[in-house]
């Protein structure tokens, strides 16, 4: 897809996402909260309303199918497919009313070529198109300090990851500290914006990270699985997104180091 076409689609995607951000901030009905796989895996009527609105808009504008967290499915990832998380961080949306995002990506044969992450309450719009750099509210994003390692930065992760990755406890102790927002899309975008050095997660879904993976990559970050292989956003799995030297030092310390 040519850059000019991508930029036009990006403008439309941003406009659409901002429209539904208003719905999230001012829901027209009382929240109807339901559980999915477990009591902490929530979905609301607003999640569903936002997904339906964006899916309808994207399909009408482009004809490309939509894969969404709350029900929209695709037969395959061949060609162009939209990946959508209507509210990434639903628990935050329900309980704290902040730190949630709308994540929308366009993939071509499984590769993200356009990404939007809307920090609704923070009024920040993270965007990227393949080969065109990454931006927040129109301002370019880039690595703050490409030469530091993980001991000199803040890391974003969930402490529960330590149960499956014991070395993470030592890494966090050696780092500047850790934080967790509860939204993978926002956390990865925070790394892209230079406000944290790395993001570690063992299990994320395609709609969680498709847009943020592109935004991170276009900002100069390195994004891989925890075994160092390329992230295939069509599959669930681990993610390590970090500034280049932080990434290499984290990968060694978490996985490759003999002790």
Is residue 4 scored above 70 in pLDDT? yes
Q: Considering its fold, how many domains does the chain have in total?
A: 2
121 with 176, same domain? no
Was 85 annotated as part of a binding site?
Answer: yes
**Among 149, 154, 161, 175, which residue's Cα sits nearest to residue 226?**
161
Was 158 annotated as part of a binding site?
Answer: no
58 with 157, same domain? no
Structure tokens at 99: 């730190």
12 with 131, same domain? yes
Was 51 annotated as part of a binding site?
Answer: no
Note down the domain range covering 88: 3-140
Overall average pLDDT of the 217-243 stretch: 96
Was 102 annotated as part of a binding site?
Answer: no
Q: Half-sphere exposure (CA, 13 Å, Cβ side) for 228?
A: 10
115 with 235, same domain? no
CATH number at residue 87: 3.30.540.10
| pTM for the whole structure | 0.94
Was 208 annotated as part of a binding site?
Answer: yes
Cβ 57 vs Cβ 72: under 8 Å = no
175 with 223, same domain? yes
Predicted local confidence at residue 28, as pLDDT:
66
Is residue 259 scored above 70 in pLDDT? no
End residue of a domain, out of 106, 140, 174: 140
CATH number at residue 237: 3.40.190.80
């Amino acid at each position: 897809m040519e850059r000019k076409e991508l930029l036009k689609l990006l403008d439309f995607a941003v406009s659409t996402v901002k429209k539904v951000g208003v719905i999230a901030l001012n829901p027209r009905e009382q929240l109807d909260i339901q559980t999915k796989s477990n009591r902490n895996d929530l979905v609301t009527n607003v999640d569903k309303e936002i997904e339906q609105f964006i899916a309808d808009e994207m399909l009408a504008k482009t004809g490309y199918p939509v894969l969404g967290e709350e029900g929209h499915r695709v037969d395959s990832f061949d060609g162009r497919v939209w990946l959508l998380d209507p509210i990434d961080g639903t628990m935050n949306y329900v309980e704290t009313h902040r730190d949630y995002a709308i994540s929308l990506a366009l993939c071509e044969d499984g590769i993200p070529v356009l990404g939007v992450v809307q920090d609704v309450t923070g009024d920040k719009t993270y965007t990227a198109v393949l080969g065109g750099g990454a931006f927040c509210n129109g301002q370019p994003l880039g690595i703050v300090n490409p030469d530091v390692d993980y001991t000199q930065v803040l890391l974003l992760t969930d402490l529960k990851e330590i149960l499956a990755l014991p070395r993470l406890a030592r890494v966090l102790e050696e780092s500047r500290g850790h934080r967790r927002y509860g939204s993978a899309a926002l956390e990865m975008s925070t790394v892209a914006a230079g406000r944290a050095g790395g993001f570690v997660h063992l299990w994320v879904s395609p709609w969680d990270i498709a847009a943020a993976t592109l935004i991170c990559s276009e900002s100069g970050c390195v994004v891989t699985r925890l075994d160092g292989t390329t992230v295939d956003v069509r599959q669930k799995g681990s993610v390590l997104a970090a500034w280049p030297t932080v990434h290499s030092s984290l990968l060694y310390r978490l996985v490759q180091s003999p002790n």
